[in-house]
Amino acid sequence: MSDETLVIPFTALDNDDVPRVGGKNASLGEMIGGLADEGVRVPGGFATTASAYRQFLAENDLESRIREQVEGYQRGERSLSEAGSAIRAHILEGRLPDALAAAVGDAYRELADAAGREQPDVAVRSSATAEDLPEASFAGQLETFLNIRGEDALLAAVRRCYASLFTDRAIAYREDHGFDQLQVALSVGVQTMVRADTGCSGVMFSLDTDTGFPRTVLINGAWGLGETVVQGMVDPDEYLVFKPLLDDESLRPIVSRSIGGKARKMIYADADASGTDSPTVLRDTSEDERRAAVLSDDDVLTLARWAAVIERHYDKPMDMEWAKDGETGELFIVQARPETVHSQREAGVLKTYRLKQAGDELVRGYAIGDAIAAGRVRRLESADDSDSFERGDVLVTGMTDPDWVPIMRRASAIVTDHGGRTSHAAIVSRELGLPAVVGTGNATERIDDGAEVTVSCAEGEVGHVYAGTADFESEDIALEEIPDTRTKIMLNLADPSAAMRWWRLPADGVGLARMEFIINQHIKIHPMALLRPDDVDDEADRSRIAELTAGYDDKAQYFIDRLARGIARIAAGSHPHPVIVRMSDFKTNEYADLIGGRAFEPQEANPMLGWRGASRYYSDEYRDGFALECKAVRKAREEIGLRNIVVMIPFCRTPKEADQVLEVMAENGLERGKDGLEVYVMCEIPSNVILAGEFAARFDGFSIGSNDLTQLVLGVDRDSDRLAHLFDERNDAVRQMIASVIREAREAERKVGLCGQAPSDHPDFAAFLVKAGIDSISVNPDSFLSVKQAVAEAEPAN
């Protein structure tokens, strides 16, 4: 490429002179061609070169004037605002070189001819040579201008892009990161507009943005142009896709799908009777738009496959923007850059936080990061109100944009009313290492200015703001110091949103995934209330059921879909290791607390020993509800593709009961041994131990539930304060039971593990299990390290 080249079509771009393309030795043109071969659709367009920018500075004698302002700011002779304002004014007063203006005009006319329109609408995007490097994110610091039409408007937008290289926030960011202000050049990309104003658009990452889990694609989307998602103006839809299964087109590995509020959308102003001079305008969405998903499952999978293609090309995690044309229905990738947070983190250390005790919850929203922080609230309406904000305060505001970054740098935590996991507030909070809770809806109304609060992002994907200063602790885990063990150490998990948080731990899978947590927290409705809604008499329950299942003609499918995706999300976090999913084990009083549940549950004097576990699954009163559970597991295994899921039956009292449960499962498509399906039984009743041989003939493995087994062996109510001193898994009677079932399982060549708190609390109990020959121990994540070390010490040397 010659030094005189000022404008280049996208299909011929060379890395040396167009900033945003790095990473490979091929040109961007070759990359776009390669993406097209793999089905990725990119809008047509052209870009000005870095040489064009430097020529613009030279012909307007701007370098010396810019340097004068920057050095004056660095010496403290003028404020950042004064320097930035003066530089932008000089650039906007400048005249584009005739050769550059002519080249841009010629390229625009060629674009018009290709589009068959005299003045096609285009997006004009800024890209700096130092922007979006893997070690730094310039999120939102440079300007993008949408729906630009005509040569004069385009040339003016090019100048405005040049000026945006010197916004106050961009100058400050470069100063903080050691970039020479005059060594940064700018390319302007001119791209055919995708008519997302009549469709939808959003942001996509090729990893999970909060945990760094590298095997997922995270997609956020909203109606209209994508600025509403990028700037956090709306609460977007969110989809999470498991990448390793994308190559099999018979599978649909969408492991999470949530519908956001999407209260507003950005559309073309000239398509609206607003009379505004701006090319775009914000409008409220309709009720139907707010309830509807912006993307079909097919669209989600297409975008996820494109994300995987782009990530492979650049050989690094990527941050992308996408758009769907509302007129043609076509999807496009409109921007791609390296992800800048998790790719730079130290891989060998896992910092964990644990909330021990907290005050009343004030608000909740999306958790950004996994930290906890406490401080005094400063509730601000504008970034101009920064004088009262002190280092360590908690920022509470409606939403943020790049003007807020200087304030965010002084904050201990951030809370916003609006935005999703890919909004500006979320991206900058991650880079700064701050916990943030975004999309709360009403934090600015619910949290008092000056109040002491705790912001917790350590409890899964839902972040919480608590009143007062909570009691919490943190720990740094050096992953390379975790010993290897022959005994498998697995995790106990319940919340799908927290499952990927622990992916760096060298766990051997999930030994206990509690289905009832998913039902209680993510479904909330009793399954029989969805199957027999006319039996629900409570009007409040009927109204709540209608609200939660909006968009589902078949209300039972709501239960199946949400349960399947919850299970699949846990299974994805540990894939390909086994994930043992316990079928629902609510007691009748707990089932009754679900929405609509009181119409279907009896009152029992002792629910702990009542109608629970296996006895429900084949009974006429719950058999149809259990069928929904089976269909959800089948969907997670067969449609989504997580065949590492193992089913476990709780509280199975007799071998005959086991036969009845297995028969009902087979009727619903879950047949032991078919497609590799394994079925375990919880060993938590003395009969499971005494008749271990008969249970081994029916199941593939045992999972010892030490809490219930101890309770029933010793005759001690585990919830009784008065009997707490008698409840001890280390009691000789309990140990003999555990040793016996381990021995029986090994003789029958069945797997046997234990899930319970005892190995975490008592290293000697872990040593006992190892000596007895147990295959696996499943513990809570915060106990993983201590149990792993205790087991390593107990295992004999080679």
Give the catalytic positions in this structure. Answer: 424, 755
Tell me the C-alpha distance between 323 and 332, whole Å: 5
Query: If phi over 0 gives left and psi between -120 and 50 gives alpha, with beta otherwise, what is residue 94?
Result: beta
One-letter-per-residue 3-state SS of 706-766: HHHHHHHHHCCCCCCCCCHHHCCCCCHHHHHHHHHHHHHHHHCCCEEEEECCHHHHCHHHH
Tell me the C-alpha distance between 226 and 201, whole Å: 5
Cis before residue 576, ω within 30 degrees of 0?
A: yes
Tell me the C-alpha distance between 51 and 187, whole Å: 9
* Strand 462-467 relative to strand 361-368, pairing: antiparallel
Token pair 């329950």: residue? 541
- The crossing angle, in degrees rounded to 10, of helices 168-177 and 63-74 is 70
Count of positions (residues) in the chain: 798
Query: If phi over 0 gives left and psi between -120 and 50 gives alpha, with beta otherwise, what is residue 46?
Result: beta
Given a contact cutoff of 8 angstroms between Cβ atoms, the answer to whether 502 and 491 are in contact is yes
Contacts of 593 (CB under 8 A, 6+ apart): none
User: Distance between alpha carbon 552 and the CA centroid of its chain, in Å?
Assistant: 24
* Range 401-405, long-range pairs (CB < 8 A, 24+ positions): 401/140, 401/231, 401/232, 402/139, 402/140, 402/141, 402/167, 402/169, 402/170, 403/168, 403/169, 404/428, 405/169, 405/172, 405/173
Q: How many CB atoms lie within 10 A of CB 27?
A: 19
Segments of 43-131 assigned E as strands: 45-48, 122-128
Which helix H or strand E contains 574, and what residues bound it?
A: helix 555-574
Tell me the C-alpha distance between 462 and 455, whole Å: 11
DSSP, collapsed to helix, strand or coil, labels residue 467 as: strand
Contacts of 21 (CB under 8 A, 6+ apart): 13, 15, 27, 28, 31
Q: What is the DSSP letter of 345?
A: S
Q: By C-alpha distance, which of 366, 301, 590 is closest to 497?
A: 366
Given a contact cutoff of 8 angstroms between Cβ atoms, the answer to whether 400 and 417 are in contact is no
User: Distance between alpha carbon 722 and the CA centroid of its chain, in Å?
Assistant: 43
* Surface-to-core class of residue 3, CB atoms within 10 Å of its CB (0-12 exposed, 13-18 middle, 19+ buried): exposed
Given a contact cutoff of 8 angstroms between Cβ atoms, the answer to whether 141 and 169 are in contact is yes
Q: By C-alpha distance, which of 140, 86, 81 is closest to 405?
A: 140
> Which token pair is 436?
């943030």
* Strand 462-467 relative to strand 318-324, pairing: unpaired
